[in-house]
Amino acid sequence: MKQKEENAPPAAAGRSAYHHGALRQALIDATEQLLAERGVEGFSLREVARRSGVSPGAPAHHFGDAQGLLTTVATLAFDGLAEALEAGNRRGGGDPLARLREQGIGYVEFALRFPGRFGLMFRKGWQQDCAGRQCSADAAFALLEDGVRDLYGLPRGAGLDAGQRQALLSTWSVVHGFAHLAIDGQLDRLAGADGRAAFMRRMLEPMLQQHLVGLVSARQP
C-alpha cells in the first residue's frame, strides 16, 4: 500500500491534468476500483481523491459529498445493467425464452465486469431523495419483468399473477446468486483452467435454459 501511495500523482499535478469532464470520470473510475477492492464499508472520499490525484475537496465540486458520488455510481450501474439486459434481448431475437435466458447471462456478465458497482447497487440504506437512482433501478427491473411477460405471452403492462411473479423472482434469484458466487470466488475451483468467464457461459446458459423451460412447462395444462 505504501508503494502505491508513493507512486500516486501529486494533487497539484492531478488538477492541472484534468479538464472538467475527465475529472468527473476519473473520480467515478476510482470509486469503482475502491468499491471492488474494499466494498462500501471501505469507501472513503479522501481515498478516491488520492487515487485520482486531486485534493480531498475536489470531489465535492462534482458530487457534493460521498453520498452524492455513490448515488451517481449506483445510477450509472443500473443504467449499465439495463443496457446489458437490452443487449440480451437483441441476442435472443424473436424467441421469448432465448431473450430471457440471454438477459440472465447479460446480468451476470455485467456483475463480473463491474463488481464494485454491482456490490453498491443493491445495498441497504439508500436515502429517499435518490430519485435518479431509483428511476434507473426501476427501468432495469422493468426489462426483466417484460421478459417474463413475453415468456408467458402477456401484453406489456399486464399484471403478473402469483405464479408469474414467482417465476420473475426465481429467475432473478438464479442470476443474482450466481453473480455473487462468482464475484466472491466461490466458483473458481469449479471453473478450473478455463477461467470464470468460460465457466459462466458453459454452466449458466444450460442452467437458465432448464429453469425457464420448467417455468413454461409448469404453466401448461
For residues 169 and 211, state if they share a domain. yes
- What DSSP string runs through the chain? -HHHHHHSPPHHHHHHH--HHHHHHHHHHHHHHHHHHHTGGG--HHHHHHHHTS-TTHHHHHHSSHHHHHHHHHHHHHHHHHHHHHHHHHHHTT-HHHHHHHHHHHHHHHHHH-HHHHHHHT-S---TT-HHHHHHHHHHHHHHHHHHHHHTTPPTTPPP-HHHHHHHHHHHHHHHHHHHHHHTTTTHHHHGGG-HHHHHHHHHHHHHHHHHHHHHHHH--
Assign residue 198 the CATH number of its domain.
Answer: 1.10.357.10
Residue 84 has pLDDT above 90, yes or no: yes
- Among 35, 64, 93, the domain boundary falls at 64
- What's the chain's average pLDDT? 85
Please give the pLDDT value at position 188: 86
Closest to 10 (Cα-Cα) out of 41, 42, 51: 51
Give the domain CATH number at 31.
1.10.10.60
* pLDDT value, residue 19: 53
pTM of the prediction? 0.83
State whether 58 and 90 are in the same domain: no
Domain that holds residue 80: 71-219
* Last residue in a domain, options 16, 40, 64: 64
Quote the number of domains for the chain: 2
pLDDT surpassing 50 at residue 4: no
Each residue's pLDDT tens digit, 7-37 = 444 444 444 455 556 888 999 999 999 998 9
The per-residue pLDDT for 125 is 59
Instruction: Look at 16-30, 100-114, 120-134, 177-191 and tell me which has the smallest mean pLDDT.
Output: 120-134
> pLDDT by residue (tens digit) across 128-183?
455 677 888 899 999 999 999 999 999 998 999 999 999 999 999 999 999 999 99
Cα separation, 158 vs 138, whole angstroms: 16
